[in-house]
Amino acid sequence: MLDLHRLKALHAVATYGSVGAAAEALMVTPSAISQQLAKLERETGAVLVERNGRGVKLTDAAGLLADHAEKILALVETAEADFEALRGAVVGRLSMAAFPTAARGIMPNALTLLKDRHPDLDLLVYEREPDRMVREVTRGEIDLAVVQDWVNRPIAIPDGLSRAALLEDVADVAVPADHPLADQREVALADLPGDQWIISSPGTVCHDFLMFLIRSSEKEPQVVCYADEYPSQMAMVAAGHGYALIPRLGRGAVPDEVRMVPILPRPIRRVYALWRTDAARRPAIRAAVEALRTACAPLALEPGAASQSTPV
């Protein structure tokens, strides 16, 4: 009889390419993964791993077994979801992840709701970047993720995942308090400055959106600082070093030296919940989506903002 835990270890090595990466994904030690593989070799009577320099590589037999393991693990997940649905109980372990501002602005209230409504639910939460979360949900490492996209960079949803819209979040331009734009009620996209921008690192969703936004006003953005955390960007603006595009979700306190000025048309980022479609029947998934929507309700877009948003 093949052991599910050992099949899961083999599948993780096949998916991530190394014992160390598999151990990180499964939150165990590399030694534990190696032990599971050794026991699986004894169970099957086949050589599954071979030394390859400082690492290992899977044999053809291991590749065949890993393919079957993927199907077996998916069937087990479906069976567990069906059984939970039959019982109708919101129980068991539920792992969730959110991008940083959602981890601050949405998850605390959502978790409070889930714990109050479903005390038998065992919750585990991670803070992650959106692209990583999509991969982790797809691979079954986490059950549900709160992800974001911007209108010029819609998130790619792989087959086998389902999603629910949670929120449309507005971003404003942060300028120093003594800047000419600081006293404006709103600023047109065409009037945004092209120089002295403080933005996220290249390759991130927020970086790509800001570059798109400024270029759409026929200016080439001149960057003076790359900072991935919005508090860091805000501190740079407060010191008079430039401007930043800061979403409202999870923004926190604005320094006295900074003014937040709305932009027309409104820059909008969209926030979603993602989960594996095979697990959709789990009452815990449905309860989590409901709690997230409830937590997002007070954060809804101001009236009329959607019709003034930056066009797709």
Distance of CA 283 to the CA centre of its chain: 22
Query: 83: which 2 tokens?
Result: 């059984």
Whole-angstrom distance, CA of residue 208 vs CA of residue 203: 7
pTM: 0.73
For the stretch 69-78, what's the b/e string if a residue is b when 16 or more beta carbons lie within 10 angstroms of its beta carbon?
bbebeeeebe
* pLDDT of res. 56: 80
Residues 6+ apart with CB under 8 A from 75: none
* pLDDT of res. 135: 87
If you write DSSP's letter for every residue of 292-310 in order, what string do you get? Answer: HHHHHGGGPPPTTTGGGBP
Query: 253: which 2 tokens?
Result: 């306190």
* pLDDT of res. 176: 96
Sign of the Cα torsion 266, 153, 202, 160 reads positive
Residues 6+ apart with CB under 8 A from 27: none
Which parts of the chain register pLDDT below 50?
303-312
Sketch out the chain's domains with CATH numbers: 4-85 (1.10.10.10), 89-167+269-299 (3.40.190.10), 168-267 (3.40.190.10)
Query: 222: which 2 tokens?
Result: 């001149």
Whole-angstrom distance, CA of residue 186 vs CA of residue 175: 12
Quick: pLDDT tens for 278-300. 888 889 999 999 999 999 999 87
* pLDDT of res. 289: 96
Report which of 210, 276, 272, 195 is spatially closest to residue 246, judged by C-alpha positions: 210
* pLDDT of res. 132: 85
